[in-house]
Structure 1
Amino acid sequence: MAGSALTSVWGSLWAEPRPADAPARGPRDWALVAGLVGWSVLERALRQDLAPGPLPLVAVLAVVGSLLWRRSHPLVAVLVSFGTLTLVDVARILGGSTGTLPNSISATLILAYALFRWGSGREAASGLGIILLWLTVTYETYVADPVSLAERIAGYAFFLFAAALGAAIRYRAKVRVRDIEQVRAREREQLARELHDTVAHHVSGIAIQAQAGRAVAAAHPDRAVEALTVIEDAATRTLTELRAIVGVLRIPPATGPTAEPDTELAPPPRVADIAQLSTGDQTRPRVEVTLAGALDDLGPAVEAAVYRLAQESVTNARRHARHATRVTVAVTGDSERVRLTVDDDGTAAGGHTVPGYGLVGMQERTALLGGTFHAGPTAERGWRVEAALPRTGTRR
């Protein structure tokens, strides 16, 4: 079992792709290369213990030059730099040289970091093997001054730490991207829900009033004018709510002591606003609203949710309840919960039997606040929506 789990983990690491957000080569990279070249020149001029000949220069050029491709081609950079260093060390062994290489080749730690930060799983594993091979070879070049066990362990530890640091920062960036995507997904869901709840409700009312106005225009022009007035009012409210939503999306929230609230954004709906959903006898189906019990001091999220649930339920009844003449909306509150019940006396159409985005959105909205939701046909005739939410809106 343990072997299978280890194999699975290794397989996932091996298949890890490169990060997609690797920054391009910029002025800082060239400044880093220039600084390391200058450091190497100073070492060559001031130190007497460097290896003779062109070997130090070859090693420095391989390491420093590879830094320019450490993000775009991390494995190639590691292969070129550490491969060159390995060949240089082998040449030193064969030539019997006892000198050291410039300290500027410690920039190889940057390459080890970049390998695990920007390379794929295959590149990281392959590059780590190249690095460990070079470490093994380079310790064998100090024939005149053998490297102690502690120094060997420290050398391996430095490179492994650089690799681990690159992997840790990579994982942190990946988690951050995932969190951002989750936030964006939640925002898209919330926006879709808000658009559906507000626009669909008003547009549905506009369509019904337009149909009614067209039906009575010839026989009762005054009633057609009333329908046009209702349509104008509904269109105005729809435009206002759309502007509020767009304003929230386009205007970043102000922060700090000088922040002021945006007066153009509409306030969140409240339970008392549900009374505005009621209609007169001229509208079919007629909507009746009853508010009773303790409905004060509710959480803002709860008030907005109850209003949206009632609004969506009325919209669904108008759309899907065939031959419905009456829709009743009842909201009652007690010391612990607020309850919403919406009934219609129509016959269920296909939209009532298959849960659509409206019912899914209502269920999600209720669940987020720790409430319960149920929607379905009644025993006799019609459709009922029931929701109960805690007064404070305890989120799960």
Structure 2
Amino acid sequence: MITTALRSFWDEPGAADPPPPARRDRVLVGAVMVAALLEGAFVEDVTWRPVATVVAVALAPVLLWRRTHPLVCAVVGLGTGLALGLAGQLAGVSGVGLATMSYVLVLVYALVRWGSGRQIVVGLVVVAVVGGLSAVTDYTGPAELFGGLAVLAAAVAAGAAFRFRAESRRRAFDQIRSQERVGLARDLHDSVAHHVSAIAVQAQTGRTMARRRPEAALEALQVIEEEASRTLAEMRAMVRVLRDGSPAEYAPQRGVADLVSLARRDPAPVVEVELAGDLAGLGPQVDAAGYRIAQEALTNALRHARHASRVEIRVAEGAGRLRIRVSDDGRTDPGRPAPHGFGLLGMTERVELLGGTLRAGPMPEGGWAVDAEVPMDANR
């Protein structure tokens, strides 16, 4: 069992989609360089001041690639620090280096956070070797030794914790996306089943009436042709989504027209629903998606809006697009980041599957709004 677990860890891939160097990384590197220069210039009792300062400044840019190349960056950072310490020992001095070079702990954190299983194992072996040699060549007492090991262990633990958290969130997001695809596929399945049933009924009617009223048979054939065209269009849309093997429910799907049932005057907040434009020609997928998006946004508003007195649901059609806006007048905190919950992810996934867009965020006048747009012909 232990062997299997170790083999599984060894084969663990690196974290998905590590971000490339960003502005905040360049700011971090700049801050580290400035700190190293200030320490090298003004702090007293710095051993090998010019060399230590140059090494600390020259090594700082390695932080830019700590996510995309975690093992290389960790080996370079730790190896440089070890080489500097060994060079000092050979010259008969100890404590070579700047306190600023403790930024190599960020490289250890990045190794565990972003590296693959192989990279983590190799990197931690390097960390152990460097830590052991540093303890032997620059031993200053048990307090400093155990303190250094504790800080190193904290960096490793932090990387593992954030990696586990990100992986758990990614799996939850994948599950939500899968559920939305299945839900949309079921909507499509129900619509196609309705059209096929209509085709069967019209075919039976046409066969029955063919002898007595030939024109009725022609009318039935025309209806069959129209229903078949709609069915083929929706079948093309169906192949874009996943479908599991569970039986489909044939209950009528709620649509945009059913949003009026969500309106209420009591209890607070008041929910107002406004439907504008020609909404009678919505395809079944867009119709069902419009209802579910508005319903989910309303649920989020009722659950999270602070001190809200009113929630407005407005659905309108224009320029070939269905526009859905759900807004509230709740109190917003400017310093609070936008939420990225599973409900919002599910709405976004459903809208994107239909070729639309969704935006959510605070409004300038206060409150929160969810705006979604979906092409009217998304099912064709």
**Cα deviation code 1:31-83 (max 9, x no counterpart):** 10100000011101111211125431353145412111101111100111111
Secondary structure at the residue paired with 2:311? coil
How far apart, in 1, do the equivalents of 2:102 and 2:120 lie?
19
1:211 positional shift? 5.7
* 1:122–1:46 Cα change, 3 Å: same
Secondary structure (helix, strand or coil) at the match of 1:71 reads coil
Describe the shift of the 1:132–1:242 C-alpha distance in structure 2 as closer, same or farther (beyond 3 A): closer
What secondary structure is seen at the aligned counterpart in 1 of 2:32? helix
**Are 2:46 and 2:97, in contact at CA under 8 Å, matched by a contact in 1?**
yes
Give the Cα separation in 2 of the matches to 1:63 and 1:131: 17
- Residue 79 of structure 1 aligns to which amino acid in structure 2? V
Quote the offset at 1:263 in angstroms.
Answer: 6.1
Report the equivalent of 2:142. Answer: 149
In structure 2, the CA distance between the partners of 1:54 and 1:136, relative to structure 1 (3 Å rule), is farther
Unpaired stretches in structure 2, ≥5 consecutive residues = 231-278, 302-307, 318-380
- How much does 1:210 deviate? 4.6
Q: Which residue of 2 aligns with 1:119?
A: 115
Kept after mapping to 2: 8 A contact 1:59/1:81: no
Alignment of 1:213 with 2:206, yes or no, is yes
Match of 2:66 in 1: 70
Is the 8 Å Cα contact of residues 195 and 227 (structure 2) preserved in structure 1?
no
Q: Confirm or deny: 8 A CA contact 2:206 2:218 kept in the other structure.
A: yes
Alignment-derived partner of residue 274 in structure 2? none
Match of 1:104 in 2: 100
Given the two structures, how large is their TM-score scaled by the length of structure 1?
0.57
Q: SS at 1:260's partner residue?
A: strand
Please tell me the root mean square deviation across aligned C-alpha atoms, in Å.
3.3
Counterpart-to-counterpart distance in 2, 1:157 and 1:33: 25
- For 2:152 and 2:112, how far apart are their aligned partners in 1? 11
Confirm or deny: 8 A CA contact 2:209 2:217 kept in the other structure: yes
Amino acid at match of 2:187: E
2:179 counterpart residue number: 186
Q: Which residue pairs with 1:200 in the alignment?
A: 193
Return the alpha-carbon distance in structure 2 between the equivalents of residues 25 and 166 of structure 1: 18
Which of 26, 48, 53 is residue 57 of structure 1 equivalent to? 53
The alpha carbon displacement at 1:120 in A equals 0.6
Q: How many residues align?
A: 258
Larger Rg: 1
Shift of 1:218: 6.5
Tell me, which stretches of 5 or more residues in structure 1 are unaligned?
A: 266-396
Percent of residue pairs bearing the same amino acid type: 39
State the SS of the aligned residue for 1:259. strand
- 3-state SS, counterpart of residue 49 of structure 1: coil
